[in-house]
Every structure is written in C-alpha cells, then in structure tokens.
Amino acid sequence: MTQEQYKRSNEPIAWLLFGFGGMAISFALPVLLALMIIVGLTGSLDFFHFFNVMKHWWGAGAIFLILLGIAFHSMHRIYFSLHDLKCNTGIAGQIILYGLALAMTIVSGIALGIYYFQ
C-alpha cells in the first residue's frame, strides 16, 4: 500500500479514552464507592477526610480524570453495544453519545470546581 491509501483516523484517541475509562471503572470506582458508603453509613465526614481530598488540586484533578474516563468508556461501550445489536446509529449516534459524555464531564468539572473554590 502506498502512503496515499492510508486515511487518518480518530480511533487511537477513542481507544485511549476507552482503555483509560475501563481501568478507572475497575480500579478507582470501587474504592470511591466504598469510601462514600462508609462515610454515609458512619455519618462522619472526618472519618476518611474524603471531602477534604476534593479541596486539594490533585484530589479534585484525580476525581475529574476518573469521571472523565468513566463517562467516555460508558458511552463508547453503549455505542458499540448498539452496533452489535444492529442498531447502526452512524455519525449522529457518535455525536450524541460522545457529546453526552462530554456534557457529563463538563458538568462534573463545574461541580468539582465549585466545591474546590468554595
């Protein structure tokens, strides 16, 4: 194949976000959920200082990256599940699903920013 026959693709970016989101779901999400459940059951916010983590830039950034990865992983998984079910959504489906992931990321970033700068 010659160089002219190759086309540029955005697939590496999509697979990077998908892989990162899968790792975030498998490693970070259970820990975050366990911490939030323990804090909720004990009623003590001082027990793990979980909310104080979000007051530091690296804590807020880490939580933002975890939520970004989870959002894009989930929407990528839904898109290809629809494709496997023969519901070919095409470009419109990609725009809607990845736009929804972007919207969830922006909303979580705004919420974390409000809490961080409070």
Section 13-23 average pLDDT? 81
Q: pLDDT digit string (tens) for 72-96?
A: 888 888 988 888 888 888 889 889 9
How would residue 106 be classed by pLDDT, with cut points 50, 70 and 90?
very high
Q: What is the pLDDT of residue 47?
A: 57
> Cβ–Cβ contacts within 10 Å for residue 112, how many?
17
Question: Model-level pTM?
Answer: 0.71
Task: Copy the structure tokens of residue 35.
Answer: 């911490």
Phi, psi of 20, deg, nearest 5: -65, -40
How would residue 99 be classed by pLDDT, with cut points 50, 70 and 90?
very high
Q: What is the pLDDT of residue 9?
A: 76
Helix extents (H) in the chain: 11-23, 29-42, 50-53, 57-84, 90-116
Average pLDDT value for the chain: 82
> Cβ–Cβ contacts within 10 Å for residue 42, how many?
11
Q: pLDDT digit string (tens) for 61-71?
A: 888 888 888 88
How would residue 22 be classed by pLDDT, with cut points 50, 70 and 90?
confident
